[in-house]
Amino acid sequence: MSGIGIRKDDFVVVNSGKERGKKGKILKVLLDKNRVIVEKVNFVKKHSKPQSESKQGGIIEKEGTVHLSNVMLFCEKCGKGVRVRNKYLEDGSKVRLCAGCGESFD
């Protein structure tokens, strides 16, 4: 599943699992794990230890990771998650296009 082409700040939609249909921005890409962190998706509760006498510990909610195969780039024009097509420009740079409508993501 390499070359999926998802980067930080991309807008994606979750296409499987309990978070299916949720949309959000990519906060972080964990390339070595093939996982991403998506804003406001897959919240997990974590216990935090008290940092000091004045700071209380407790439960904090934080985004957990989502496997890359569970997210797709969201195309505004198509209104759904889409596959990406790579296109190489004359100067050798690569742009990502929506496989559905051809809109550029870059």
In the complex, which residues of this chain contact Zn ion (CB under 5 A)? 75, 77-78, 98, 100-101, 103
If the CB atoms of residues 37 and 98 are measured against Zn ion, the closer one turns out to be 98
If the CB atoms of residues 64 and 81 are measured against Zn ion, the closer one turns out to be 81
Element (H, E) at 62: strand 58-63
Closest CB 59 distance from Zn ion, rounded Å: 39
Closest CB 64 distance from Zn ion, rounded Å: 28
CA distance 5 to 98: 12
Q: Which residues of 77-100 are buried (b: 16+ CB within 10 A; e: fewer)?
A: eeeebbebeeeeeeeeeeebbbeb
Closest CB 100 distance from Zn ion, rounded Å: 4
